[in-house]
Chain A
């Protein structure tokens, strides 16, 4: 069996071929030839190679046929017999006197398979894991590598950072807004040092002025959930009965909803709020009473 690694195939092929050539040449010399044409040697080499290859192939087939992976001597014998070779002659042939010994082809330095990146030692299996299990992968594939530095725990620095970060963001943002939009200036000669985003009137000024911004809303939710327990006053009394959440357009719809809930209890005054503004709008009568 040949266990040839992945050297460049040509090199290997050439080395083998050269060895075979040497064999053929010595056999020819043994047979008494003094010289041979290159083409003839090549042909003989080719034939020898084919013959040996056939032995190998056939031996492998016999071996596999008997459900083995390693060919045995008998496999070879059977092969040779099959190929019409008289095996009996072989020992005598091997012991012939004029046999020429050929040096083994130079061992080309076994090409080293470049190993996959390894970092550190593979961990050996712990005792409870049977040895047949695959080995641990390379450590880097599962070991977490902490890359942070020692966190800054100094309060002062943190505050400092947060403050300047926020300030920088705000400055950059407002400057950007100022650059991209209309501005007003406090100095006639300089419009860029203290750019003020131009005042723009709103169509409904009270909305932006009264409604908390999204940011604030978010904050409020956060702080509410965290500090709910120590509320100082009654301000946040739950309003169980906000009766109408919808905008005016939906008012009728919601009144209708109210009605459906009303009709369920059919004038049951118990838990239904009787407020004239929640009552349904009446259909026009033919004649309104005065």
Chain B
């Protein structure tokens, strides 16, 4: 991991320092989706005996490597291509996750590793010893990249420019290695020269300043020359090429916007706001935007909506909108603001290591929050904070915690900080996407907590300090070693805080940053009339997963008759009860205005309150200065007062939520009043709609008057003269627009005593649709109409079915017929007059699925499947896919599951692939505790392959597959698999035999998991590091029985987390050999490939231990390798260089102490082949994921 020397400096994990890199892409072929180019890295050795240079590179086919113009040999090895090896029967996720983490570590640039290992030619050794500069020149090409660089080539007539073909870089975290060889780390900064030669009709947008554009000699292409003089990490390099339309920002000429053809009017409108964001950030940070220019590019089929890179951001083209669109406008502006915040923190200021990521995400998220506050107001900001807080709390309670600053000890430490998770949090690339999203959310919330502690002023000073330091550093020449000032670290950041503010925030950091979990409070109170004291009891749950104990101050606000009072309680170890003296005597007759927290004085009708108590309402932690969930008990009238009179939107929202449990006329009145109050925040009013619907349903037998909200809606939005007709649309007032959209959706949730949607309500909604008239409106009504369809869908209740008759038109419910009529018309009209982002199609598809699910329409996925195809707008596809996912679950359809999984593998759009897995995880066809016909061995194998090798081109996708596997099968061996023949495991370390952990019955395993996650922190952990002293042997004896399982309990996790290549399966050796001899000749190629994968895990060790100079006479190790039957097909390790043999010596001389390990590997290979040949026929889903080029991939075990 990264080694930090004190706080000051940053010590590179590499024995050299990169100072400058040239990336030159001289040919891009859109037809073939290929790229040809070279890179040249200027590096300074920092140690005298540097003989290997490790770089990151994936997918690239490397033709030639030269170091200072001398041909250099190289090895290309990527263990992440296939994480576990074929022969492994292991199918438990624990095993996989550990192996995957190990594989990622093996190429992790932050650990000084890489997929590409270049040998410094011996002629240069002397040169290197003098620490003189090396120039590493690598020619590479990229053919049909599956990740990192995404080609969008519409299938139509015309030139590529006319077709709007474009290509852009994309990926999750550091993914630059997917498109050119580099040091793919956020901590290795250098200056850049970027050159792209593209078709004359195209534009290449990249980082830094466009120095010049030059035609090629034939004048058919042009070369874009970019210079980036600010030291930047390779991971922040990006590229977008396409026939873009160019718009220079009218307010800031150094800002340029790019979009695809025909969208310029939208681009103009969308970006017309950006300069205000610039101004805001520059003002609060008192710092100019660090780069000399900024570019925004809007592209299709985006990987993520917003991706920030040095001096440019890549956005999804779907963020563009015209002035007629209301709903998208704030969302897009938020994306722009987010991207810009990350320019300062994330791009300009980078991070030292993965464990410092939270600082960057935290700061950028925090300043983005400040922008939100300024732009959308305090209400929106507080609402957002509350939303984020709820999300992170829910996620942590569900999964067991998000750790912002994971510290990994020297490796031997048995403390895995994330034992509750099914993935490793050591690397960004092993992280579940959802976790990462929540991680970012928590990071900015914690920044806000720090702000609460040290004040915003100091906070901004700290940011300014970081930026000025970086700014100074960035203008320095490399030799000054100042560049590391541009890297932020947790310790540096904290030091800065303490310097600037003089405050000690260590406890806060310890609680929220160094530790995972949130706080769960339960509060209740009693009023002691005699003492005039409020007796508050606050309990905590800190034993459930994802929780932690909170000790420290907690603010409580009490609204009394005489005013609002803040109290700071000290939450301590054992004190549950807190006495809070009240200021006012209870008195009710005095007509006096009641002062609120904000100084306002209001009249209240106090008749509802308890005569004896002066308490109106109580709030715990009103400022959200603890990451917590509060469950507080107070009477219904208190919630009602809180809703009516507390001015904080968060309090209002909490009150609304609480009132759901009090379906009384008083609650109804309070909610209705709020709904009508125009000064009230619109989101609160929207929320009140849904609460009112719920209350109305609970009160259905006593409800009087028209259905809830109907008269309100009529009053607000219908014509005065004819109340059954809605006014023609006028959305000038956005608040009422949102309310108008929401009310019908909430009303449709109303149910009568038969649990049906009242006919009156349905007719009301149908009338809204019928009389909807947008002709005089300045804005588009597509979102409104879409929500009306959502309302129709909400009104659907399950069909009354007589003994499961087949659904036909004849027995269609007349109400449903009306609904269907509307949906049909809407959906058909969309074909003729499509709405913005096809919102109406999306809603129609959702509604149809609801009708299917409720048994009104025959359940059938074919409609959705047609809409899910490539070529439909992405929102439509996702809605359709969601329906298919749901169908798969409800109808347990194997066919549809296969269809989805095929799409995960083959769809051209990365986001769709990711989203399918995500949706399957959220709405799984079955879970690990469920008996399902879908759960079978083939599926296990298929998913295993998917995450093992099928998704190696996309970190996010692979983690998505891992998530799905976890949801379906859990951590241990899937229950549907047959028991392995080998039942007993010999634990050599503890010298005892135990039942093979992979076959622990599911029930036992399930009991096991929660226990592990809470108590066994120390136990579960670190086994991936114990490779040397732990050896697990499977023996042939199959001792079955449950008592073993029970006995094994404590050791259960032991078996699974093995490094690849540690298993010794003796029993099958003889068979294997036979098999190999048999298949040797025909399947040479195949075997070759697999062997490469097979050996990857330990190549890593080899490479790590390569040392110079080679000691002669240790050739026997290679001899050992030669025992391998397949090595009859010899392939040299390095390119056909005269010195290749010498190099291979380097590979093999070092393993005396590792001989044992080697032996293991030898056996392993043999096994593998057996499985290969077996699996080949039966497995249609084999991912032949060959590491890019046959020439560059050489496994040492095959050499010589």
Contact = CB atoms under 8 A, between A and B. Distances in A.
Interface string A194-218: 1111111111111111111101100
A177, A200, A204, A273: which has the most chain B beta carbons within 10 Å?
A204
A275 B320 CA distance: 23
Contacts of A245: 264
B245 interface: yes
Contact of B209 (A210, A276, A282): A276
Interface string A151-185: 00001100110111001001101100110000010
A124 interface: no
Interface string B1114-1131: 000000000000000000
B821 A275 contact: no
Given A156-B725, A186-B820, A206-B873, 10 more contacts: A159-B722, A163-B771, A170-B825, A204-B164, A206-B260, A210-B317, A212-B780, A219-B777, A232-B732, A241-B248
B872 A205 contact: yes
- How many interface residues does chain A have, given as a range? 35 or more
Given A201-B871, A248-B201, A189 B214 contact: no
A279 interface: yes
A275 B161 contact: no
Interface string A238-256: 0111111111110110000
Interface string A270-289: 00011111110111110010
A235 B276 CA distance: 12
Interface stretch (A28-36, A76-84, A223-231): A223-231
Interface in B757-804: 770-771, 773-778, 780
A159 B725 contact: yes
Q: Please provide the 6 A-B residue pairs with the shortest distance between their CB atoms, ordered closest to farther.
A: A201-B871, A248-B243, A174-B828, A276-B210, A156-B722, A209-B873
A193 interface: yes
A187 B268 contact: no
A236 B273 CA distance: 10
A11 interface: no
A230 B655 CA distance: 36
A246 B719 CA distance: 46
A194 B821 contact: yes
A190 interface: yes
A15 to B, nearest CB: 76
Contacts of B780: 212, 216
A163 B857 contact: no
11 contacts: A156-B719, A199-B872, A205-B872, A209-B836, A209-B837, A223-B776, A227-B732, A243-B246, A276-B211, A276-B213, A281-B215
A143 interface: no
Interface in B866-888: 866-867, 869-875
Interface in B260-280: 260-264, 266, 268-269, 272-273
Nearest to A213: B833
Contacts of A174: 824-825, 828-829, 831-832
A159 B863 contact: no
Contact of B248 (A197, A204, A227, A243): A243
B981 to A, nearest CB: 48
Contacts, number: 239
Interface residues of B, number: 100
A211 B261 CA distance: 11
A20 to B, nearest CB: 84
Contacts of A234: 272-273
B581 interface: no
A177 B828 CA distance: 8
B246 A251 contact: yes
Interface in B231-263: 243-248, 250, 253-254, 256, 260-263
B807 interface: yes
Contacts of A193: 809
Interface stretch (B322-330, B643-651, B704-712): B322-330
A279 B874 CA distance: 36
A219 B828 contact: no
Contacts of B202: 248
Contacts of B213: 276, 279, 281-282
Contacts of B874: 205
Interface in B316-338: 317-318, 320-324, 329
A162 B774 CA distance: 12
Contacts of B770: 163-164, 167
B808 interface: yes
A211 B247 contact: no
A182 to B, nearest CB: 10
B268 A239 contact: yes
B405 interface: no
A246 B268 CA distance: 13
A220 interface: yes
Nearest to A282: B214
B266 A210 contact: yes
A188 interface: yes
B222 interface: yes
B256 A275 contact: yes
Interface string A73-104: 00000000000000000000000000000000
A275 B253 contact: yes
B486 interface: no
A177 B323 CA distance: 31
Contact of A184 (B771, B808, B866): B866
A39 interface: no
Nearest to B164: A204
Contacts of A189: 808-809
B300 interface: yes
Contacts of B821: 194
B200 A188 contact: no
B848 interface: yes
A112 interface: no
A266 B318 CA distance: 40
A245 B820 CA distance: 44
Contacts of B322: 211-212, 220
Contact of B870 (A201, A247, A284): A201
B870 to A, nearest CB: 7
Contacts of A184: 862-863, 866
A204 B825 contact: no
B9 interface: no
Contact of A190 (B320, B771, B776, B809): B809
Nearest to B820: A194
Interface string A12-48: 0000000000000000000000000000000000000
B210 A277 contact: yes
Given A171-B825, A187-B807, A235 B248 contact: no
Contacts of A107: none
A162 B515 CA distance: 64
Contacts of B161: 248-249
Nearest to A272: B253
B837 A159 contact: no
A171 B269 CA distance: 35
B857 A186 contact: yes
A212 B774 CA distance: 14
Nearest to B271: A239
B15 interface: no
A117 interface: no
B980 interface: no
B162 interface: yes
Contact of A203 (B156, B262, B829): B156
